[in-house]
Structure 1
Amino acid sequence: MTDEQPQPAVLDSPSPDARRWAMFAHLAGFAGYLFPFVGNLIAPLLVWQLKKDSDPFVDDQGKEALNFQISVSLAAILSFMLMVVLVGFVLIAVVVAGAVVLMIIAAIKVNEGKAYRYPFCWRIIK
């Protein structure tokens, strides 16, 4: 008898359909620019709820996109409150620019079939 360590399961690459829906979940955050404070939360939530049962990759990335949009919304609210002392104007610009860049990076990565984790994200939904 040998003491062999079990090998990790080899994960298959997500299907093109799963990659597409995961990409839509990340890009859905741009709806917040059309409908401020609700679009960026509702759109990823809808994509995730509609497609989470179709593929584990879509479920994982839908939760990640929604958690990121919740974090961005909280940061934006804090920035608006800090506009009273003027520092909020700079902070909101940083939040918006960072969110745009990170959503595009996430969409590109998941379209390549790689799971993406946002930095500085509060993961409320597990």
Structure 2
Amino acid sequence: MKENKQLLVLTHLSQLLDFVTGIGGFVVPLILWLTKKDEIRNMDAHGKAILNFRISMFIYILICIPLILLLGLGIIGLIAIGFFYLIFPIINAIRASNNEAPKYPFSIKFMK
């Protein structure tokens, strides 16, 4: 296995494509993880962390939608999720460039 920190950083930052394309932030990291997990050192761990984070945030969005009707609590939740979508990929891209393990808070471990 070879080391490629730039690809790990790119995988984390590719999540920000959601702000441009709407769905690219899930598809691109998924494709990178599926194609490179056996070739690049630590890609499997980083890819699983990203996918766990993305799936968890999607579930939280689904929970927030009906909460909008309940005193607008869902709006606060959606704003927080939007903040998480913006900040945590950048933080973990920096962590990847420093050879550190990814940490996405509020992630449910679907893939271990």
Q: For this structure pair, what is the TM-score category when the shorter chain's length is used for normalisation?
A: 0.7 to 0.9
Computing the radius of gyration from Cα coordinates, the structure with the larger value is: 1
User: Residue 120 of structure 1 corresponds to which residue in structure 2?
Assistant: 106
User: Residue 71 of structure 1 corresponds to which residue in structure 2?
Assistant: 56
Higher relative contact order (CA 8 A, sep 6+): 2
Q: Is the 8 A contact 1:21 1:51 kept in 2?
A: no
Distance in 2 (alpha carbons) for counterparts of 1:54 and 1:83:
44
Size of the alignment, in residue pairs? 110
User: Residue 109 of structure 1 corresponds to which residue in structure 2?
Assistant: 95
Once the two structures are aligned, what percentage of the paired residues are identical?
25
Q: CA-atom RMSD, angstroms?
A: 1.6
Deviations 1:68-100 (A, max 9, x none): 111111112222222122111111001111221
Q: Which amino acid aligns with 2:56?
A: S
Deviations 1:4-39 (A, max 9, x none): xxxxxxxxxx73x2x111112211211222333x33
User: Residue 32 of structure 1 corresponds to which residue in structure 2?
Assistant: 18
Q: TM-score, normalised by structure 1?
A: 0.78
User: Residue 83 of structure 2 corresponds to which residue in structure 1?
Assistant: 97
- Which aligned segments of 4 or more residues in structure 1 are displaced greater than 6 angstroms? none
Q: Is the 8 A contact 1:23 1:107 kept in 2?
A: yes
Ranges in structure 1 where 5+ consecutive residues have no aligned partner:
1-13
Query: How far apart are 1:105 and its partner, in Å?
Result: 0.6
Distance in 2 (alpha carbons) for counterparts of 1:77 and 1:31:
20
Q: TM-score, normalised by structure 2?
A: 0.86
SS in 1 for 2:103: coil
- Is the aligned partner of 1:42 residue 2:42? no
User: Residue 9 of structure 1 corresponds to which residue in structure 2?
Assistant: none
